Amino acid sequence: MREYRDFSNRQSFDLSDDHRDFSIFAERMVSLLGSPTDKLSGLDQNYWDFNVNGVTVVLHSDTMAGVSIHIEDGTHEAPHHRKETFGN
C-alpha cells in the first residue's frame, strides 16, 4: 500500500494494482461502514463514496491504475486536526 497526496492534495492510498480487486475492498468497506452514500460506475472506473464521521472516503477503481482510497474532506488541514476529525 502506498500513501500519498494527489493533485488535489487529498490523502490517498493505493490498495491494489489490479482493478478486479475492487469488489473485495468494496465488500469489506460495506461490512465495516454500511452502504455507500453514492455509487458511480462506468466501463473502466468505479467510485463508491462512504461517510466516515462526516468525512467522505472514496473507494475508486480504474482499469489502468488499480484500486485506491481518497479522503475528500478535512485533508487540507493540519495533521493534528485530521486525527481529531477521525476520533483519534
| pTM: predicted TM-score of the whole model, two decimal places | 0.77
33: domain CATH number? 3.30.200
**pLDDT for residue 80:** 41
> Which residues are bridge partners to 50 per DSSP?
57
Query: Residues 61-71: pLDDT tens digits?
Result: 999 999 999 99
Percent of the chain with pLDDT over 70: 82
Number of domains in the chain: 1
Write out pLDDT tens, residues 11-49: 999 999 999 999 999 999 999 999 999 999 999 999 999
Query: What is the average pLDDT score of the chain?
Result: 84
Residue type, 23: S
> What is the span of the domain harbouring residue 24?
2-85
The Cα–Cα gap between 62 and 65 comes to: 5
Spatial CB neighbours of 49, under 8 Å, sequence gap ≥ 6: 36, 37, 38, 39, 56, 57, 58, 72
